[in-house]
Structure 1
Amino acid sequence: MQFVKFRLPLGLLSLISVLAVSSCSKDDDVEQAGNDAATITVENVIESKALTQSGTFQNAGSSPLINPGETASFTFYAGKGQAISFAAMYGNSYDLFFAPANPGIKLYQDNGDPVTGNVSSQIRLWDNGTRINQTTGPLVPPGVAENPVKNVSEIALGVPASQLLKAELTHEGGTKFTLKLTNTSGGTANETPISAGVWAVSQSSGSVLLKEDPIFSPGKPSANGLTDLAETGKTTTLTQYLTGITGPNSPFSPVLVVVYSGNDNPIFKTGENDRGQGLKELAQQGNADILANFLKTQSGVKQVYVLKDPVTNSLQPRINGNNGGKASQAISARKGDRIAIATMYGQSNDWFAATTNNGVDAGTRGDISSIMGLFDNGTLESSFPGAHIGSKPAQAESQPVQQLANPNQFNTLPSLPQMIKVTIQ
């Protein structure tokens, strides 16, 4: 076969060369200004705690002892299904203490109404099992040690414990309660001072309490500093233990991630009321899909993702040393684009964690947790985090979106980087 050679005119050859160079330059520009692949990862790093709240109480007078006729009270928050537990020493004994049976005093009726009034019938008297019991009355400490040590057990005296210590619940509104304790032992055969004490409210997961025995366990040896309280009325050691297991246990909802251009975060702006575009549903219910679908229709918004833990959807906290929930997503963004995220803080009515201000430059790599903030959506009345499931729906409100202070009006939470970790790689 004979090949025929074609000779192009010199002018046409020059034009093709120019076009070829122009085409290569354009392709190079597209590659340089094109999409940069990255992966964003959001992880719940909250170290799960068993108690939402704990604290101490004592007589408000010059002595912490609650003598006959005197009172002590404390205020706390609890949602439906939670209970209040406490313990205080029966002063004229070697190791007896007052406490309700576990998991504590019931705070809501079955229909969801708060329990109020006299709840003394739920108080019991317990033997710590570390000192030999003797006839109650003014005693000389420390008494004789039990050998071997016995388990904690309920003990009966001549009169019920409810006749020696009166407990009254007041509902302060929302999920807020006050428990007032009055020493009513005066004039009885068991007249006694009552020591300062400790109290605790367990976390709940649905209808299940994470710790039904926060202070003591009948049938088991005394532990965690309860002996100090039962024998001497000192609360320090037991308080330290309870403080160590008190804190957040919150999940984060599926995470909204938005890639956009411009100077305005498309998700929200502090100082403005909720825009009615779906942020309310994210902040109240953890539903990011409504806002995601809306943002997909907006100019300047380039990519929208909803990140979910592959097993649980929501991002659960770390439990017993195990890793918390995590979600990752490969994203594509041009240089100069911005990235913003938002996710519901689960133990709240309408709080959410989000990137502050105008998000972060899409070219940023590494840990960006430090630019995260906790915000109040302003659409439901706030309540104590972890005690937000009340008897009635939270009261609606219409307030501007604001970043929450820490400490907030209820408690002090860990810093955001200790609760949620966000990285771009």
Structure 2
Amino acid sequence: MIKSLLGLSITALIFTSCIKDHEPQPTAKTITIENVLDSRPLVQSGTFQGTGTPPVILPGQSVSFSFSAAKNQRLTFATMYGWSNDLFFAPENPGIRLYGDDGTPVTGDVSAQIKLWDNGSRMNAAPGATLVHPGTAESAPKNIKEVMGIDDYGHAFLPAAQLMNVSLKYDGSSRFTVTIKNESGGTTNETPFSPGVWAISYTAGTDFLLPEPIYSSGKATTEGLTRIAEVGDNAPMSTVLTSQTGIFTPLSPILVVVYSGSENPFFQVGENDRGEGLKELAQKGNADVLAAALKTKSGIKNVYVLKEPTSTVLLPMIGGNAGGKVSQQLTLAPGDRIAVATMYGFSNDWFFSTHGNDIDANATGDFSTSMALYDNGTAIDQFPGAGITQFNLAGTPLTESKVIAPVPNPNPFTTLPAISNIIKVTIQ
């Protein structure tokens, strides 16, 4: 009898061991998220010109253009003093201030911020309609300098603000219209203005990514600026500025969720924000609130908030340097799925997230195409990287209530790179 029981026990142990040997075992994999955006320092740039032939801005005429800007951003531009050899008008760097310290938009006359500059590439002849272009080149090119009443050759000039009127109109939602009017008619410095260029730099806090995009006082000129200052040709400088204009955005600390189930545990397209913390992630880049809420839900196995060790956020590629990157080892069982979310940092409430039924934990490789960009529907949108109410640009989001939806591309503000050219997700 004892032998029979012993035999049964051994058989049961062997059977149980065989079952365990055939049970799928958890595996360890590493997820890596990178900001692979090849960023640009200018949020917007463009050109302006008159309506005639040639398209100069004659005395009494004006030209207007519109743009978006955040609190600490500035507007800069350049246009030729047409009846000169190489003089140009431009605001003193970093440009025209657009908001007060309290965030109130600046409106009205800002002409006092405009200066007249000598490009330093041509000897200055007496300005006027009879001046011969291009004139004589300087034997040794000079650095750019402000013309303050009298130039290096003894020619007199009125202050720029008496020749050019520049005014700002605030159109709402971070959008401005600037008007440049030629008021030189009847003065001793009557002149047309040439076609010009304009630009606005991204800012990180109070620092400009490109504080002197058009010229640098006290330094040598550039080919693009010389074409404006000598002949009023804005095309070369426009090409330069266009190459420096585009998208710049950090990615907020990355939320990674391992769960068992058939659908994303924190949002679905077409529904309103659930009030569990996704709004805080999408508006402010704070994933901690949502992470805490998810940890209380059934089916959630692990929740991580991955922060870049130095900067917390994942910065984009800047000047050829690699962007930010974070990694996390995951313990995964068959049937597990992985959801990822992070804020489009320079937006009002856009966030990247895995779409569909997220990422199959059994798979490995590059899952960047599993990411999509969504509008959380809780804050009014503005130009990405140029919004006065964007939290990461010193603003307070303005509330709205819409369902979560994909961000179209192109969108009403700009055209974004492909998602896989902004965020890269790999599992190995």
Tell me the TM-score normalised to structure 2 length: 0.93
Letter in 1 for 2:417: P
369 and 241 in structure 1: CA distance in 2 versus 1, 3 angstrom threshold: same
Task: Pick one of 72, 87, 97 that aligns with 1:106.
Answer: 97
Identify if the C-alpha distance between structure 1 residues 327 and 400 changes in structure 2 by more than 3 Å, giving closer, same or farther.
Answer: same
The answer for the alignment partner of 2:152 in structure 1 is: none
Match of 2:421 among 403, 411, 418: 418
Structure 2 equivalent of residue 297 of structure 1: 296
After the TM superposition, list the runs of 4 or more consecutive aligned residues in structure 1 that deviate by more than 6 angstroms: none
- Which amino acid in the other structure matches residue 292 of structure 2? N
Is 1:393 aligned to residue 384 of structure 2? Answer: no
SS of residue paired to 1:194: coil
Separation of aligned partners in 2, 1:419 and 1:60: 39
- SS of the aligned residue for 1:422 comes to strand
Q: Given residue 406 of structure 1, which amino acid in structure 2 is its aligned partner?
A: N
Report the Cα offset of residue 392 of structure 1. 6.0
Alignment match, 1:24: 17
Structure-to-structure mapping, 1:225-304, within 5 angstroms: 225-304=224-303
Counterpart residue number, 2:171: 172
> Residues 61 and 21 (structure 1 numbering): CA distance in 2 closer, same or farther, change over 3 Å?
farther
1:311 aligns with 2:304: no
Answer whether contact 2:86 2:120 (CA < 8 A) is retained: yes
Cα distance between partner residues in 2 of 1:135 and 1:240: 31
Query: Deviations for 1:58-98, whole angstroms, at most 9, x for unmatched residues?
Result: 12455421112211111111111111000011111111111
1:357, distance to aligned residue in structure 2 (A)? 1.9
* C-alpha separation in 2, matches of 1:266 and 1:184: 62
**Structure 1 position 35 matched with structure 2 position 38:** no
- Structure 1 equivalent of residue 353 of structure 2: 354
* Residue number in structure 2 paired with 1:93: 84
User: For each residue in 1:158-195, what CA deviation from the matched residue of structure 2 results, as whole angstroms up to 9, or x when unmatched?
Assistant: 32211211111001112111111111112222221111
Q: CA separation in 2, counterparts of 1:364 and 1:325?
A: 24
Q: Hey, what does 2:58 align to over in structure 1? A: 67
What is the distance in 1 between the residues matched to 2:56 and 2:35?
Answer: 43
Q: Distance in 2 between matches of 1:158 and 1:308?
A: 56
Amino acid at match of 2:12: L
Contact 1:167 1:179 in 2 (8 A): yes
Deviates most, 243-252 or 16-25: 16-25
In structure 2, what residue type is equivalent to 1:140?
V
Larger of the two Rg values belongs to structure: 1
* Shift of residue 17, structure 1, vs aligned partner: 4.4
Task: Check conservation: 2:266, 2:278, Cα contact below 8 A.
Answer: yes
Match for residue 122 of structure 1?
A: 113
1:256-315: per-residue Cα shift (whole Å, max 9, x none)? 111122221112111111110100011111111111111111122222111111222211
109-118 or 390-399: which moved more? 390-399
Are 2:385 and 1:383 equivalent residues in the alignment?
Answer: no
Residues of 2 paired with 1:176 and 1:396: CA distance? Answer: 18
SS state of the match for residue 42, structure 1?
Answer: strand
Letter in 2 for 1:308: K
Separation in 2, partners of 1:224, 1:397: 47
Secondary structure at the aligned position of 1:283 is classed as helix
Q: Distance in 2 between matches of 1:190 and 1:269?
A: 64
Compute the displacement of 1:319 (Å).
2.5
* Distance in 1, Cα, partners of 2:221 & 2:80: 14
The correspondence for 2:138, drawn from 139, 146, 166, is 146
* Residues 351, 375 of structure 2: 8 Å contact kept: yes
Q: Distance in 1 between matches of 2:124 and 2:132?
A: 12
For 1:170 and 1:12, locate their aligned partners in 2 and report how far apart those are by CA, in whole Å.
Answer: 94
Contact 2:173 2:388 in 1 (8 A): no
Question: TM-score by structure 1 length?
Answer: 0.94
Distance 2:102 2:387 in 1: 17
Contact kept in structure 2, 1:174 and 1:394, CA below 8 Å = no
CA distance in 2, matches of 1:239, 1:193: 20
Larger deviation, residues 285-294 vs 317-326: 317-326
Q: Partner of 1:320: helix, strand, or coil?
A: coil
| Preserved CA contact (<8 Å) 1:224 1:241 | no
| C-alpha deviation, 1:50, in angstroms | 1.9
Residue 199 (structure 2) aligns with: 200
Calculate percent identity across the aligned residue pairs. Answer: 52
Distance 1:285 1:111 in 2: 20
Supply the RMSD in Å over aligned alpha carbons: 1.7
Which residue type is aligned with residue 246 of structure 1? T
Asked if the contact 1:85/1:103 (under 8 Å) is kept, the reply is: yes
Letter matched to residue 191 of structure 2:
T
Q: CA deviation at 1:321?
A: 2.4
Question: Any conservation in 1 of the 2:31–2:329 contact (CA below 8 Å)?
Answer: yes
Instruction: Say how many residue pairs are matched.
Output: 416
Equivalent AA in structure 2 for residue 220 of structure 1: K
C-alpha distance in 2 between matches for 1:394 and 1:163? 40
Name the SS of the counterpart of 2:169 in structure 1: strand
SS of the residue corresponding to residue 225 of structure 1 reads helix
**Contact 1:81–1:108 (CA under 8 A) maintained in structure 2:** yes
Find the aligned partners of 2:261 and 2:366 in 1 and give their Cα distance: 23
Q: Quick one: which amino acid aligns to residue 265 of structure 1? A: N
Question: What SS does the aligned partner of 2:194 have?
Answer: strand
For residues 357-409 of structure 1, the C-alpha deviation after alignment (integer angstroms, 9 at most, x for no partner) is: 22111112111111211111111111111112458633210011111112211
Checking the alignment, whether the CA contact within 8 Å between 1:48 and 1:318 is kept in structure 2 is: yes
The Cα shift of 1:48 comes to: 3.3
CA contact (8 A) 2:87 2:229 kept: yes
